[in-house]
Amino acid sequence: MIKSFKLMVLIVFSLMVLAACGGGANDASSEEGGSGSGSGDATTINMGTTQTEDSVFAAALNKFKDEVEANTDNVEVHLHFNSEMGGEREMVEAVNIGTLEGVWTSTGVIANFVPEVSVVDLPFIFEDKEHARSVMNGPVGEELADKLSDQNFKLLTWGENGFRHITNSQHPIETPEDLEGLKIRTMEVKSHQEAFNKLGADATPMAWGEVFTSLQQGVIDGQENPTSIIYSSKLNEVQDYVSLTGHVYSPTAMMINQGIWNGLSEEDQQILLDAAKAAQEENYTVGDKNEEKYIEELKEAGMKFNEVDKAPFKEAVQPVVDKHKKDVEDLYNQIVESN
């Protein structure tokens, strides 16, 4: 009921914005070059994210906005943080139907529209950041971008959350057995849920906007996310332990509605792509630069970190990987053989 209400509010808000701008996704798709420098009509892109104004996402999105608006008078970018436009699933659905122009989202929810995207969310498929970035910006990333386009999404760039680690309020996680019985929030990604259940945890999928309060109230014991999100979301206020499992690399996607894209002039399209590339570089640079800072400040705030031998975790979840890779065998093989 709450999600339906949020989606209704999102649709009404977006329609108001589109009306104020004199058009939207449907208008853009009905005429070539309907907005942008060719026609003189301004296009407004509302870009939503679940993350905070001081997150790595925000640094990248602000770079995108600045680059776009510095190079064209025909496109305005409005940024919406803290799930203002809904959860990731709601925003992706809204971009798909054209009631929201753009989103920067984790890839997990995109698999509902393009099942092949699920391959990049499989546990322990990437060896390190360099491997992951190479894959996402190479032939595999291009193939997935083409499939997104077939489903009414224009990928502007891939980005990243980084490698995900487990936090909880009970004890350090040093072996898979330490997860037994813990309620761990996961994204709404089947392979993630099944992996945590296989490890003995009680996987609890939940929209990100509900997580902090649920941790605070003890509805769940823990969650899993990269250190940048643990830091920007102030999880140190509701979690005591961080175990550096690095079990999943979490790619992200900056996408806009394909109709919006089709309505832009070629000149403005290139400006958006250049701005998105700058945003990706900002995403990578800020994340890399601040990784140690985040950990140190979280330690100072009282969180206890522990290293983890990943081998037993990887072995335990391999049956889940084997099950899910069957549907994306070619892409899976390209990824694991590219390292």
Per-residue pLDDT tens for 305-332?
A: 999 999 999 999 999 999 999 999 999 9
According to CATH, the superfamily of the domain at 165-249+292-337 is Bacterial extracellular solute-binding protein, family 7 (3.40.190.170)
| Each residue's pLDDT tens digit, 149-158 | 999 999 999 9
Topology of the domain covering 2-160+251-290: D-Maltodextrin-Binding Protein; domain 2 (3.40.190)
- What is the pLDDT confidence band of residue 33, given thresholds at 50, 70 and 90? very low
Among the listed ranges 22-36, 50-64, 179-193, which one has the minimum average pLDDT value? 22-36
Residue 36 has pLDDT above 90, yes or no: no
Considering only CA atoms, which of 102, 89, 95, 233 is closest in space to residue 157?
A: 102
Residue 11 has pLDDT above 80, yes or no: no
Average of per-residue pLDDT across 143-147 = 98
C-alpha dihedral, 37 to 41 to 42 to 45, nearest 10°: -90
User: Could you tell me the pTM of the whole model?
Assistant: 0.84
Among the listed ranges 20-29, 210-219, 227-236, which one has the minimum average pLDDT value? 20-29
**Within a 10 A sphere around the Cβ of 4, how many other Cβ atoms?**
9
The whole-angstrom separation of Cα 107 and Cα 105 is: 6
**What's the pLDDT score for residue 19?**
42
- What is the pLDDT confidence band of residue 29, given thresholds at 50, 70 and 90? very low
Average of per-residue pLDDT across 115-135 = 97
The whole-angstrom separation of Cα 244 and Cα 305 is: 7
**What's the pLDDT score for residue 115?**
95
| Each residue's pLDDT tens digit, 58-89 | 999 999 999 999 999 999 999 999 999 999 99
**What's the pLDDT score for residue 162?**
93
**What's the pLDDT score for residue 40?**
55
The whole-angstrom separation of Cα 80 and Cα 83 is: 7
Place of tokens 């849920």: 193
Average of per-residue pLDDT across 267-293 = 96
According to CATH, where is 3.40.190.170 located in the chain?
A: 2-160+251-290, 165-249+292-337
